[in-house]
Homo-oligomer: A and B are copies of this chain.
Amino acid sequence: MDDFIFGTLATEELRLAHIRSQRGGISHSQRRLPRDPLPGQPVSLELSLGPEHPQQKAWVYWTNDGSDPAGANGQAQNGFVSGLEPIDSEWDNLLWGYIRHFRVELPGQPAGTVVRYRLAAEDVWADSGAFYAYYVDNDPPPDWTKDAILYQIFADRFFDPAPEFPKLEAKPSLKCNGTLRGITAKLDYIAGLGVNCLWLTPIFPSPSYHGYDATSFYEINPRLGTKEDFRQLLDETHARGMKLLMDFVPNHWSNQHPTFIEAQKDQSSPHRPWYTFKTWPHDYKTFFGVKTLPQINLRNREAREHILGAAQYWLEFGVDGFRVDYCIGPSPDFYAEFRRVTRTTNPESWTFGEAVDPPDSQITFAGGMDGSLDFMLLEAMRQTFAFGRWNARRFADFLSRHEAFFPATFSRPSFLDNHDMNRFLWVAGNDKRKLRLAALCQYTLVGAPILYYGTEIGLSQERDMVQHGRAIHEEARLPMPWASSAQDKDLYAYYRGLGQLRHERPALRRGRRETIHADDSVLIYRRVTGSDSLVVVLNTSEKPATVMLALSEARECFATGSDCGIEKTDSGLRLHLPPYGGLVLG
């Protein structure tokens, strides 16, 4: 069994093509310092020219009034133009040539400014003509997000509170009939886990059971309920001190969306430019070639306002933020406005992206959103705890490099699985010891943990998601089993304990992390903040482990099971860990 997380960069061939195109091209790729500028702070932009681009001059065309920059050959037609200076050349052994670096500094701007820009080397636009933008503000993620424990609910799969009633319409999938009321009914169950933030997969009207193909961004899927149901869910959620995040899908929606139907029918429709027709009406840009998922042209002002309006609408409705689906899809300049809208509508809102991409891509969303889902950590945790391919030393080293790469103000919600991949428990061979250990690690790292519905009661799969070379996503989206006999209550209690631990200990939510020890099997790290401090000990191997810890005194405050032991000796504590055992001390 293999784990295909990063599909577009899964093979060396794909990676090389990506590197070649980025390093070999006329490339800005959002090399901007600072990425998320403060009011008045100048911003340095870099441009590089691969060996086959002989342009001698480079410019940035930019505006600070929200309009599109325009210009050519160093003359601005709208806004400003600034010349870039050549900095140095770098030899590249893959491209077998010099990469030339240029740089320019744009002046600082007042808070609330959206700076929009494009770079060009002589008459060639950088990055195939991409538009970029940044939003000037002093806006780190809201404080509450550091305390968040999230629960991801696949709306259709969660709970049907009235299975005996007739449904509004036939379901495209019969596996479950989850509704918003069903979620409301289970809020105490969720809150019991220490969860204080829900993330719902899309609840917009949609022909599919998953909802990633909306037909409206301003309505609720009638199969899931009504706006009143959603209002009630929100109220009940907030009443429990919990937040709620929606799944926001700005890149594409259904080909049944009224604007798309109209754009395909009527060549002169004002909605036609909301899409990118290569040849009207049947050849248009889509999400990964799926004809039912036309891509929204967010360079079109009306389309963009429609999408931004939806973000504003739901924040005003009361939601607390968004998980942004396929955030690498929209034009990068979209996010400065997304930031402006989300932060001005609700300064306490939280937004993070889903970019199934490596860290150098993740980091480009700094400033546009509060962060992004930590796919790299996901891969590392699965390699270490589920597959056993990475030993503790390699995982420890990954962690420290990974943490050093991202600024502290960049949210990196952590997860062991989601609705797009085999569940962790499945790839761990349904070995719950591995899940417990991985969860212990996840809950004691910096990023806010996300729990995928069902994991807490041992929901796994019937078959692998990949069948005959095709991904059957439903396998990882089985209905939540509510029958008491189908739920692992011990595991629920374990997750509840993890939640409590995280809430009780500020060091886990706000502390720095330091590796104390890592060998082939055992990883020990400390979390420290102010007066709080604790030590996490993880045995990643299939063998029992004994490890010495130079501490004279320590309280066990959490363990994967009762078979973990602490023995006091003259030279410190001797810790006994069973296979896949873990301990928290302090």
- Give the interface of A toward B (CB within 8 A): 9, 12, 15-16, 18-19, 51-56, 86, 88-91, 93-94, 96-98, 100, 358-360, 393-394, 396-398, 400-402, 404-405, 515, 518
Contacts and interface: CB of A to CB of B under 8 A. Distances in A.
A94 B56 CA distance: 29
A400 B86 CA distance: 10
Nearest to A23: B93
Contacts of A53: 397
A91 B359 contact: yes
Contacts of A393: 54
Given A98-B398, A393-B54, A394-B52, A93 B405 contact: no
Q: Which of A86, A405, A518 has the most CB of B within 10 A?
A: A405
Contact of A88 (B89, B96, B404): B404
A298 B6 CA distance: 47
Contacts of A96: 9, 15, 358
Q: Which of A54, A86, A91, A515 has the most CB of B within 10 A?
A: A54
Given A12-B94, A98-B398, A100-B400, 18 more contacts: A9-B93, A15-B93, A15-B94, A19-B94, A54-B393, A54-B397, A56-B400, A56-B515, A88-B404, A89-B401, A89-B405, A90-B405, A93-B360, A97-B401, A98-B359, A98-B402, A98-B405, A100-B397
B89 A402 contact: yes
Nearest to A55: B397
Oligomeric state, in number of copies?
2
Q: Which of A93, A360, A396 has the most CB of B within 10 A?
A: A93
Contacts of A400: 56, 100
A51 B395 CA distance: 10
Contacts of A15: 93-94, 96
A84 to B, nearest CB: 14
B394 A86 contact: no
A94 B16 contact: yes
Contacts of A16: 16, 94
A88 B402 CA distance: 10
B9 A98 contact: no
Given A94-B15, A402-B98, A54 B88 contact: no
Nearest to A376: B91
A89 B360 contact: no
A93 B515 contact: no
Contact of A91 (B94, B360, B397, B518): B360
Contacts of A394: 52, 54
Contacts of A397: 53-56, 100
Contact of A405 (B56, B91, B360, B401): B91
A86 B360 CA distance: 19
A19 B93 contact: yes
Nearest to A405: B89
A229 B404 CA distance: 66
A396 B94 contact: no
21 contacts: A9-B96, A15-B93, A15-B94, A16-B94, A18-B93, A19-B94, A54-B393, A54-B397, A54-B518, A55-B397, A56-B515, A88-B405, A90-B405, A91-B359, A91-B360, A91-B405, A98-B398, A98-B405, A100-B397, A100-B401, A100-B404
A271 to B, nearest CB: 38
A404 to B, nearest CB: 5
Contacts of A86: 404
Q: Which of A51, A393, A397 has the most CB of B within 10 A?
A: A397
A358 B18 CA distance: 23
A93 B404 CA distance: 17
Contacts of A100: 397, 400-401, 404
